[in-house]
Structure 1
Amino acid sequence: MSMHRKTFTLTEQQDNWVKGQVESGQFATDSEYIRDLIRRDQQVMERLATLRQALAQGESSGKPKPLDISAIKAAGRKRMKAAV
């Protein structure tokens, strides 16, 4: 994987925060910390896209039906008994 150099301007508070994360020993360098933040943001965005897709599928799946809580509980109990 090729690396690209970027320059960021941080406030003093932000810079102190990044330094603190490195000094805590969780990250070896500022760059490692920033890359970790980007990876986490990418994961959050992927999960959000998956959720949005599921919501859209749910909305387009047709008219909702009332829930039968008793049937749901019975099915859950049946699964629990089968798992034992």
Structure 2
Amino acid sequence: MSMHRKTITLTEQQDGWVKAQIESGQFSNDSEYIRDLIRRDQQAKESLAILRQALAEGESSGAPKPLDISAIKAAGRKRIKAHG
């Protein structure tokens, strides 16, 4: 994977925060910490997109139906029995 050098500007408070993360031993340098933040942001965005997709599918799936707790319990018991 090729690397690209970037220059960023932080406030004093932000710089202190980054340094504290490195001093805590979780990261070895600024770049490692920033890359971790980017990975987490990418994962959060991906999770949010999946959730939005599921919500859209649910909304377009038709009118809600009454919840049948006894049928849900029976299906759960059947699954447990089949895998137990």
User: Fold conserved (TM > 0.5)?
Assistant: yes
How many Å separate the matches in 2 of 1:3 and 1:83?
A: 47
How many Å separate the matches in 1 of 2:76 and 2:3?
A: 50
Taking only aligned residues, the RMSD between alpha carbons, in angstroms, comes to: 1.1
Q: Once the two structures are superposed, what CA deviation does each residue of 1:4-46 show, in whole Å capped at 9, x if it has no partner?
A: 2222221211111100111122111101100100000000000
5+ residue gaps, structure 2: none
User: Partner residue of 2:6?
Assistant: 6
User: Partner residue of 2:31?
Assistant: 31
5+ residue gaps, structure 1: none
One-letter identity of the residue aligned with 2:42: Q
How many Å separate the matches in 1 of 2:18 and 2:46?
A: 25
TM-score (normalizing by structure 2)? 0.91
Q: How many residues align?
A: 84
* Alignment partner of 1:53 is 2:63: no
User: Partner residue of 1:69?
Assistant: 69
How many Å separate the matches in 1 of 2:78 and 2:57?
A: 28
TM-score (normalizing by structure 1)? 0.91
Identity of aligned residues (%): 82
SS of match in other structure, 2:32 = helix
10-19 or 29-38: bigger deviation: 10-19
